Amino acid sequence: MGRSHTPPKEKRTGVLPTDGGVAVRPPAAAHLSDDDVRRLGEELDALRDEVIASRGAKDAAYIRRMITIQKSLELAGRAALLGSRYKPLWLAGTGMIALGKILDNMEIGHNVLHGQWDWMRDPDIHSTTYEWDFVAPARGWQHTHNDLHHTWTNVIGKDRDVGYNILRVSPDQPWQKRDVFNPLVNVGLSFVFEWGIASYDLEWDMVKAGYKTREQFDSDLLALRVKAQDQVVKEYIALPAIAMLTKSGGRALTGSLAANVIRNVWAHAVIFCGHFPEEVDTFSEEMIDGETRGDWYIRQMLGSANISGSRLFHIMTGNLSHQIEHHLFPDIPSNHYIKIAPRVREICARYGLPYTTGPFALQLASTWKQICKLAVPDTFDKRRPIASLREAWNNA
């Protein structure tokens, strides 16, 4: 059974008032007055406007260079797998395809589907026409990710991305019996992440709750079937069939499978590190009642976490290592996040707000610690583990 979610009665347009304020601010922002929040919002609006005004030829060259690198890796990797009965070619082919898929999903696909490159008027990388190398159809993902997650970031009961409806990742989520399997479910999800997201985007729980019609669900399911069929044929039938001519069919199949698993595990790790470390906050619906533009910015900063690393590392994460900046400005070109991150951090410090960041290993450890800790009920007693777990199980 899925966790309870209540979709908003009307869709937000993205335009929020600049004056006023919420009735209850998150604890980390409780010290700020309505005027403080308004000024913070104005500073961040000005920063976004500055980036938007600066977009130009260098940015266009950047994304086109990323696309060229991605396509070259994909093509070279598949060519190598044609001779993959030789182990070095299997390793090279699998690695290049995995890197190409990571670039396609993270730095290109995810960001294109956010509309970051719509200003170029290029139909090949426009958010309304782009389709990525991911089993989840782009349009369905845009609905659950862009429309819902980025609007209601970490609001318990509205943001279904808090645990993707299967994991307990916040103490504000009531413990359920199934949560004892949190760590095992998360390990399994990491290997099949693209399939998990595709299933999640169908919104099974919304159909059951009566918020989504069966007709809408059937339409989304048909789109997924078509996309999944295309992906399976490309990855696991066509390439191995061709590789059979060089007696490499079986190795090409395992190479394709391994490349997809590598991409899935990497994407899962990066995304979870940006959303579920211990320091990331979740919010009650009361905290968004009367939300202004500044309050929305605060929620994005408190509900996200960054990962420190090299420029190459940032590219391989799709710049989602700058998750805070991405949640503040999801529609600006991703290559600008590294440039504005120091300014966002300075704004946070000046207004007394946390700016959660750390090395990949530490953020990953924090995320897994949170997932494991929340697998047991809040009443769990280490001095009497079996008895306290049994009591919680019987009361759940």
Token pair listed for 126: 């426009």
Judge whether 159 and 153 are in contact, CB under 8 Å. yes
Crossing angle for the helix pair 87-102 and 57-81, nearest 10 degrees? 150
What is the identity of the amino acid at 30?
A: A
3-class state of residue 354 by DSSP: coil
Q: 2 pLDDT band (50/70/90 cuts)?
A: very low
pLDDT > 90 in the chain, percent: 87
CA distance 230 to 96: 21
Judge whether 304 and 275 are in contact, CB under 8 Å. yes
User: Quick one: which of 372, 380, 382 has its CA closest to 396?
Assistant: 380
CA distance 283 to 299: 8
CA distance 391 to 264: 37
Q: What is the pLDDT of residue 9?
A: 46
Q: Determine if residue 154 is left, alpha or beta; phi over 0 gives left, psi from -120 to 50 gives alpha, anything else beta.
A: left
Q: For 91-104, what is each residue's pLDDT tens digit?
A: 999 999 999 999 99
Phi and psi (nearest 5°) for 19? -105, 160
Task: Tell me 237's DSSP state.
Answer: I
Q: 7 pLDDT band (50/70/90 cuts)?
A: low
CA distance 301 to 298: 5
Q: What is the pLDDT of residue 396?
A: 76
Q: What's the rounded mean pLDDT across residues 235-242?
A: 96
Q: For 171-224, what is each residue's pLDDT tens digit?
A: 999 999 999 999 999 999 999 999 999 999 999 988 888 889 999 999 999 999
